[in-house]
Copies of this chain bind each other. A is one copy, B any other.
Amino acid sequence: MHSLLILSRFARDYRALIDAAQLPELTITSIDDPAEATATAASFDLAFGEPALLRQLMPALSGLRWLQSTWAGVEPLLDPALRRDYILTNARGVFGAQMSEYVFAYLLAHERKLFERQASQAERRWDQTPPSRLRGKTLGLLGVGTIGAALARTARHFGMRVKGYTRASEDCADVDEYSHGPLTAGWGSDLDFLVSVMPATATTRHIVNDALLRTLPPRALFVNPGRGGVVDEAALAAALQEGRLAGAVLDVFETEPLPADHVFWRLPNVRITSHTAALSAPPDIAPIFVDNYRRLLRGEPLQYRVDFERGY
């Protein structure tokens, strides 16, 4: 018999979806406040929920064998002070489509001048400034996991060229050119768009730094729906203020919510999307738990296991 703790802002939704799956040998407790489980925490061998909430219970979850995160990013659970003697799995494979809609909404808005035309319309002006096109342009991807692969597929659909920067993998057929290791000085010089979908790890911290930003051409648009820590925000703000970049579309930041006095709010060529690029929707995420639970019962390896050292 397994004992599962669901700890999530959407605990009721997850409970209903997991109940509906009628999983065998499972008792379930579902709560949305960590304080409700402090007394009974030691009794759970399985946990499912948001890393930021579960982190608070980690010292008390002494019987934990497996934790399924509802998020892709599991940074709160990677603190070296926390135990690592359990299986941690994250959510993958479900964010690609959302991320693709997010990124290409802004790439297309940029080419088709959506905001400029809206300003013309406010003046009742018949504005025939020619639009530009994605076709033939070059997208640089920092990170080519399942999300990066989905972005590459959409880029290919629109006739773009894709350069992928990854730690090691090279298995996405929609990436035209791969790079690994230290970014060479010229890597960014032919990009029209730079999109970061890298996880936040010690290795990726501030990978979007002054040196990389200075290699981008002034026509380039930077899009970050990944993790805020990947970007040196002061260097990015300087590039935008000095006209060394066409603009930036930013979903994530080093501090969230973005402080009201942050310079990004005031720059005309920055679009802020307040960490909404890809949401963990219970109907997408619950099946990941259900599938992994069935694997657990069958004694098979779980999907999407996180390597604590690597950080994803």
Contacts and interface: CB of A to CB of B under 8 A. Distances in A.
A21 interface: no
Nearest to A260: B124
Contact of A109 (B105, B121, B135, B159): B105
Contacts of A271: 114, 117-118, 121
Given A120-B274, A135-B97, A272-B121, A279 B104 contact: no
A112 interface: yes
A273 B105 contact: no
A266 to B, nearest CB: 8
Contacts of A274: 117, 120, 126-128
A154 interface: yes
Given A154-B157, A274-B126, A101 B108 contact: yes
B157 A157 contact: yes
A101 B272 contact: no
A270 B271 CA distance: 22
Name which of A101, A120, A260 has the most chain B CB atoms within 10 A of its CB.
A101
A184 interface: no
A134 B276 CA distance: 15
Residues of A in contact with B, size category? 35 or more
B111 A114 contact: no
Contact of A121 (B106, B135, B265): B265
A133 interface: yes
Nearest to A135: B97
A126 B133 CA distance: 31
Interface in A220-259: 256-258
Contact of A117 (B126, B128, B258, B273): B273
Given A97-B135, A257-B126, A102 B109 contact: no
A22 interface: no
Nearest to A153: B157
A130 B97 contact: no
Given A117-B273, A130-B279, A101 B112 contact: yes
A115 B279 CA distance: 19
A98 interface: yes
Contact of A97 (B109, B133, B273): B133
Nearest to A277: B131
B108 A276 contact: no
A187 interface: no
Given A128-B276, A157-B157, 17 more contacts: A98-B131, A100-B158, A101-B108, A101-B111, A101-B131, A102-B112, A102-B131, A105-B114, A106-B112, A106-B114, A114-B271, A117-B272, A117-B274, A120-B274, A121-B265, A121-B271, A131-B276
